[in-house]
Every structure is written in C-alpha cells, then in structure tokens.
Structure 1
Amino acid sequence: MALEGQFLQNVVVLRHGDRIDHADPSWTSSAARPWDPYLTEGGKMRAFSTGRKLRANLDFPIHRVFTSPFTRCIETTNEVVAALCAINDDGSQVTGDNLEIDPSKLKVSIEYGLCEFLSTEAIKTELLPKDGKFVYEMSKLEEMLPAGTVDSSVEHVYQGMPKWGESKTDVRDRYQGIIKALAEKYPHENLLLVTHAEALVVAISALLENVAVSGVEYCAYLHSRRLSSTSESQPVLNPKEFELCGDSGMHYSPVDTS
C-alpha cells in the first residue's frame, strides 16, 4: 500500500497480436512492406480480448500507452485502447470496430525505442526495405489509433529508428533503457507499453534472476510495480525496485546455477 507522499506506479509490457506473415507465409512475396506485417483478423480479436482482460483484472487505471511504430503494434494498440476506453461494451463485439469510447481515459504516443529487434534474427535479409530505411510517417500511424487518444506533443525518447544490425546486447540495452526512461519520465502515471516479444524476454529477465524464457505468446504481457515518490524534490526509485506482480502468456523456468 502506498503511504502519503508515495505513488504505486504500474508498468504493463504487452506483445502485439498475431501477425499475417506467420499465418500466411506467402504474404511476403507480394507485400509492399514485407518487413512490416499487419495483424490477422484473429490477431485483432485477440488484442481486443486482451484489452478487455486488462480492464477487468487490473486494479488501477492506465494513464498512458506507448507503442512501437510497427504496424502490428499500432493495430494491437488500437484494439486494446478501444477495449480499455469502451463506454458501453456489452460483450457482443469481437473487435473494437465502431465501438464508442471515452478518449479522455488515457493518452497514446508512438515511441521508436519500443520497435522490433533490428537484426536478421528478427527480420530476414530478403524482407528488408530496398533502400535500407525503415520509414514511418507519424501522422499516418496516429490516424490508425482511436480518435482523441493521441498525444503527439510527447517528445520521443528515441528521435528515430535504431540503426540496423543490433546485437543481442544492443537490443537488451535498448529495451531495458526505454522501459526505464518512460517509467522515470512519467513516475506518477501507470503505463502500458505495446512492443515485441524480445522486449518481454528482457523485462522478465530483469525482474527475475536466473530464469530462461522458452516462449512469449501473442498478446502476452507482464505487470510490474514500484513505489514512487510524489515529491518533485525526491528522485524516483531505480528500476531494480520494480517487482513482478503477474504475467500472462509468458513461459519461463528457473535456471540451475549450482
């Protein structure tokens, strides 16, 4: 329980939903942007269902959502936010299409630092942009998000996409750094970060020592929490003081270090 002068900050890290190229490998052969697959219809349904699950199970409000610029994450964010902000969700809808929402409940921003692992371990060489540039137009991406929720005034932690050719160490440092930076930038707000599988691997490994992750399902998420001071003169606690409160769709086990 938080005492006077303290705030319980919650951070939820969420993987995107089912991607079209995994459901239909032939999709990449004719796609204009084969490195940037969108969600399947089932992926949209899973994302919307996950948003409902979060709304029902979390004992705190989400104040801000940050999403990777990759299309599958933008579409996942759209569905999850629709579920979180729904005004009259009677359970009959399977996606957030045309669902009335209250956009004042939270704000959404795009953050380059949450993007995919930019390496051949995640994106095959033959699928890369012909000019080698991962180009995203922020205005077009923001149009894909629920109307009234976008906060485009937020300054990005990463001013552009990371450079291609990241190592495992590079991406681990990036994901750890971006989660820490966003938490410290908004210490008095609860955050939802919509990103990619490797970010959840990094996050769970930082929260639990000596675990091996064997799988991260679509729309898997983990929830961590820490005490943060409400005083501007006091520093927020460091990320090591975050504690794991729960997870869903994560598969991991202890590693014997004896």
Structure 2
Amino acid sequence: MDSTSKNETPEYYQNVVVMRHGDRIDNFDPLWTLTAQRPWDPPLVQEGRVRSFCTGRKFRNLFKYPLHRVFVSPFLRCVQTAAEAAIALSAVDDSPEALTGESVSFDPSKIKASVEYGLCEMMSRMAIRLDVAPKDGNWGFNISEREAMLPAGTVDKNVERVYKELPKYEEPIASTKARYEQIVKDLADKHLNENLLLVTHGEGVGVALSSFRKGAEVYEVDYCGYVELRRPIFKKDRSFTAGEFEVITNTGQTGVKYSI
C-alpha cells in the first residue's frame, strides 16, 4: 500500500467484491456425508445454483462498474457458485425468467475466471470435521477438472496462482485469517486495473470486512452474502499506486451482518 495523500485525486477506483458460496447440500441433508465419496467437498443444492445466478445478475444490474475477473476457491460449492455468477455477469440475452445459467447465452470475453488455492476453506476442524476430512490426506483437487466446470472460454490459463498448493490441514485459525486478508490484497495488487469478484467461504467474507473496517465484528454471513471493497488508484509518473481499501457495505444489506 502507498501512503498517498488523501488530497490527491485518484486516477480511478478499483473494486473488489468478496462473496460466499451458495447453499451447500450437507446443510440440507445431514445424511449426505455418510455415503458421499468426497464428504469434505459438498456441491450446491438447486436453490444454491439459483441464488448464485441471481446474485451475479444483481451485480450486473446494481454495480456502476463492471467485474472483469473471478477468482474462486477450489471447493466444489465455490466453483459451482462462480460458474453461475460468471454466466450472469456476462449474459448476452438474459431472460428475467431464467433462474440459472443453464440456458443463458453469454459472452466469455466479458469476464475471466481462475481457481485460487488461497481462497479455500478454513483448513481446520472448525470448518471440516476430522471424521469428514480425507483419511489419507489427499483432498483430490484437480485444478483442470475444476476449471472445466467454469463457463467455456472464461478460464484464463495465463494467470499465476498466488498459492501454488492447498494450505495444510490443521492450519491455525490465526493463519487462516491472515491468509484471507492477504489474498485479497495480493490478487488486487496483481490486477490493479481490474475489478474482481472473489468467491470464497463464510469466514473469508467476514475477514474481508473486519480487516478493512476497523472495529467491525462480523456475526453472520448468509449464502452468497458479499462484501464490497474499493480503493483509489493514483498515477505517479508512469506507474500506479494503490490507496487503502474501504468497506462500502452496510450491515444487513448484502447478507452480511456486523457490529461496530
């Protein structure tokens, strides 16, 4: 971050939206984990797909700026959420009657998508029970397979991931929170001239808010709840520098509730 004077006029603002995934199946069917091959990686239920698509449509209609890139946690529920949101954001002929992106025409040149390990779930028993985590330690995240789930033509193969591999299980909670805060900064810094949508998990959304709004304590993040951040970008000579992020989300308005 740069200590640019508040009196300077920014060249533009960079916007970052940090969003939780949609409704996951194991919260509606508690017995699902008993027979699932990958109980640590639940998919969305249909309602989750609908919520994800409609949230992406809301972004397209509500925001006064375009979202250029989507970065997503490798967990299945997040990839499915990102896929629906990306189609909604790049829709060409989006009928109001469409509830998912299944039959919606979209322009893949309008948005690019990438999987980022740093946005993954809290890798601890607080989020993934010991009896649910893989016994052999193999989480089985194949990035090529996850990318294939994203809308055709949107995957950017040239993006270098910040985290080269999944954080280790039993990651300390303090480390997880530091990871969530840092990944927002790192991705924003790497793509300084673009607006980003980061699809992650509930704790990641909460940290994105509390890290950039002093004194805020997040106590609820709904499915597809999101935090909207922005920061000024200043031009000095021939280079660009970034100011501090500010939270422009009020409590309860976007599925995130917090106190000051």
TM-score between the two structures when normalised by the length of structure 2: 0.92
Q: How big is each residue's C-alpha offset from its partner over 1:104-158, in whole Å with a ceiling of 9 and x where there is no partner?
A: 0010000000000000000000001121122211111111000010102211100
Q: CA deviation at 1:83?
A: 0.6
Q: Does 1:8 align with 2:5?
A: no
Give secondary structure in 1 for the equivalent of 2:255.
strand
| Counterpart in the other structure of 1:206 | 211
1:176 to 171, 181, 184: 181
Consecutive unaligned residues of structure 1, counting only runs of 5 or more, are none
Give secondary structure in 1 for the equivalent of 2:131.
helix
Letter in 1 for 2:245: F
| Counterpart in the other structure of 2:139 | 134
1:100 to 105, 108, 111: 105
Cα RMSD of the aligned pairs, angstroms, is: 1.5
Q: CA deviation at 1:19?
A: 0.2
Q: Does 1:21 align with 2:20?
A: no
Q: How big is each residue's C-alpha offset from its partner over 1:39-63, in whole Å with a ceiling of 9 and x where there is no partner?
A: 0000000001101111110000111
Q: Counterparts in 2 of 1:89-238, with a 5 A limit? A: 89-230=94-235, 233-234=238-239, 236-237=241-242
| Counterpart in the other structure of 1:245 | 248
Q: How many matched pairs?
A: 250
Give secondary structure in 2 for the equivalent of 1:109.
strand
Letter in 1 for 2:159: V
Contact 1:188 1:230 in 2 (8 A): no
Give secondary structure in 2 for the equivalent of 1:125.
coil
* Aligned counterparts of 1:163 and 1:230: Cα–Cα separation in 2: 39
Letter in 1 for 2:241: V
**Structure 1 residue ranges (4+ consecutive) displaced by more than 4 angstroms after TM superposition:** 230-233
Q: CA deviation at 1:201?
A: 1.1
* Aligned counterparts of 2:51 and 2:232: Cα–Cα separation in 1: 31
* Aligned counterparts of 1:173 and 1:4: Cα–Cα separation in 2: 31
* Aligned counterparts of 1:37 and 1:29: Cα–Cα separation in 2: 12
TM-score between the two structures when normalised by the length of structure 1: 0.93
Consecutive unaligned residues of structure 2, counting only runs of 5 or more, are 1-7
